[in-house]
């Protein structure tokens, strides 16, 4: 097995509906096609297209949401996504998703999230730890054990924590509803809030009250920041002091300076940035500048399904493009422990997992 696959990894920026398998998406489209709800031949090429601009990506998300937004499918894709990440030795993932409401099928933001949690419970290929230790009880529905398989070998385990996304199309009230839901679901592994959605839509001030409330209540915050040039938004976002930001592409000099001073960790999504043409070529990616400045960084997939990538692939790409060796890439993955939103017990466990793996590194 290649080292970038076998080494333990931490995923901190993965959108649930962006991580869906192509095969599942096509299957769902075919079923809706047969029911006459969509015309399959119209959407097949949209799903299979490889390179999309950022605008086209958001059109695809609208289609994905038509295909996936019922409770059973949400449960299924959650299970598949966690199993896919675990299969490439991701040992900790923060999965983010936008809670959706659809009155016509009796879906509320809460029932959407319950379907996600059901998906975590449905995973069979690996042990899933999603209930924070301070909330877990002996008769918890998901007992946290690193159980031995029948043959005496340890079973794989993945930690999963959830972030609820606020979509930039939402109103202040809708954003607040998501934050309140996150607070109610803390005992099911919700640790924070993400601001995402089409970056040319919506205004920072619309989301600020909900994000401020979330921060006051002790939820962690990560913001999509600087995906498009927006002088009105980047500095206020950095002033807000989120625990992490995603992308950080279109920054002006002053914004870079403030980012570096603040030491806010950046979630870097190489393939996503290149495929959406937000960055024209990997050799001018800001990863290099931030890495050389020892700025806190973590490699992530963004949308593994939509961009046909995996976290292992992102490590392989970074290694090849930036001339970093196995040991440097391992350290980069290990440093991610410092930026996770789960508690100290999980961090300690991850430290041990990486220490053990480091001994096998040659
Ligand atoms: P979901 O929240 O439905 O599980 O995942 C898909 C959603 O995540 C998209 O509809 C969009 O709101 C958000 N998303 C996925 N990828 C990106 C990205 O690259 N940039 C931004 N700003 N939002 C994204």
Which position has the higher pLDDT, 56 or 330?
330
Ligand 1 atom at minimal distance to the Cα of residue 167: 12
The widest CA-to-CA distance across the chain, in whole angstroms, is 59
What is the C-alpha separation between 43 and 35, in angstroms, rounded?
14
- Ligand 1: centre distance to CA 283 (Å): 25
* Structure-derived torsion over alpha carbons of residues 167, 171, 172, 175, reported in degrees to the nearest 10: -30
**97: part of which helix (H) or strand (E)?**
strand 90-97
Q: How far apart are CA 207 and CA 230, in angstroms?
A: 16
Pocket of ligand 1 from Cβ distances under 6 Å: 15-18, 61, 97-98, 165, 167, 196-197, 199, 224, 227, 272, 302-303
Structural domain count, the chain: 1
The pLDDT tens digits for 320-340 are 999 999 999 999 999 999 999
For residue 163, give the nearest of 179, 146, 141 by alpha carbon.
Answer: 179
Question: Best mutation site among 61, 94, 201, 307 for ligand 1, i.e. most ligand atoms within 8 A of its Cβ?
Answer: 61
Can you give the residue range of the structural domain that contains 254? 3-360
Q: What is the pLDDT of residues 291-317, one digit of tens each?
A: 999 999 999 999 999 999 999 999 999
The answer to whether 227 is a known catalytic residue is yes
Among residues 80, 227, 233, 314, which one is catalytic?
Answer: 227
* pLDDT tens digits, 214-245: 999 999 999 999 999 999 999 999 999 999 99
Mean pLDDT of 331-354: 97
Distance, in Å, from the CA atom of 178 to the CA atom of 176, rounded to the nearest integer, reads 5
- Quote the ligand 1 centre to 18 CA distance (angstroms): 7
- Cβ atoms of 318 and 312 within 8 Å: the answer is no
Mutational pocket test of ligand 1: of 24, 55, 98, the residue with most ligand atoms within 8 Å of the beta carbon: 98
269: CATH: 3.20.20.140
pLDDT digits (tens, 9 = 90+) for 126-181: 999 998 877 765 444 443 334 334 444 578 999 999 999 999 999 999 999 999 99
């Amino acid at each position: 097995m290649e080292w970038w696959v076998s080494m333990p990894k931490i995923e901190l920026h993965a959108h649930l509906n962006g991580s869906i398998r192509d095969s599942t998406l096509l299957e769902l489209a075919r079923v809706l096609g047969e029911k006459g709800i969509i015309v399959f031949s119209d959407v097949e090429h949209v799903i299979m297209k490889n390179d999309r601009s950022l605008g086209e990506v958001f059109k695809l998300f609208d289609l994905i949401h038509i295909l996936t937004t019922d409770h059973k499918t949400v449960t299924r894709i959650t299970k598949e996504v966690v199993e896919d990440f675990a299969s490439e030795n991701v040992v900790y993932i923060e999965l983010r998703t936008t809670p959706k409401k659809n009155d016509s099928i009796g879906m509320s933001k809460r029932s959407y999230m319950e379907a996600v949690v059901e998906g975590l419970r449905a995973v069979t290929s690996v042990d899933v730890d999603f209930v924070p230790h301070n909330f877990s009880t002996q008769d918890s529905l998901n007992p946290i054990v690193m159980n031995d398989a029948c043959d005496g070998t340890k079973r794989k385990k993945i930690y999963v924590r959830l972030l609820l996304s606020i979509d930039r199309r939402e109103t202040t009230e809708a954003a607040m509803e998501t934050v309140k839901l996150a607070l109610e679901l803390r005992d099911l592994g919700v640790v924070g809030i993400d601001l995402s959605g089409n970056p040319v839509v919506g205004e920072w001030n619309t989301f600020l009250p909900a994000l401020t409330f979330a921060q006051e209540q002790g939820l962690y915050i990560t913001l999509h920041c600087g995906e498009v040039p927006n002088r009105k938004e980047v500095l206020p976002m950095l002033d807000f002091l989120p625990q992490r930001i995603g992308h950080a592409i279109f920054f002006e000099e002053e914004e870079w300076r403030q980012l570096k001073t603040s030491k806010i960790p950046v979630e870097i999504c190489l393939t996503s940035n290149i495929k959406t043409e937000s960055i024209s070529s990997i050799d001018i990616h800001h990863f290099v500048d931030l890495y050389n400045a020892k700025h806190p960084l973590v490699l992530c997939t963004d949308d593994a399904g939509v961009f046909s990538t995996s976290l292992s692939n992102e490590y392989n790409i970074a290694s090849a493009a930036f001339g970093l060796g196995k040991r440097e890439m391992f350290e980069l993955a290990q440093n991610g422990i410092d930026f996770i939103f789960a508690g100290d017990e999980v961090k300690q466990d991850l430290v041990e997992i990486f220490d053990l793996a480091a001994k096998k590194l040659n």
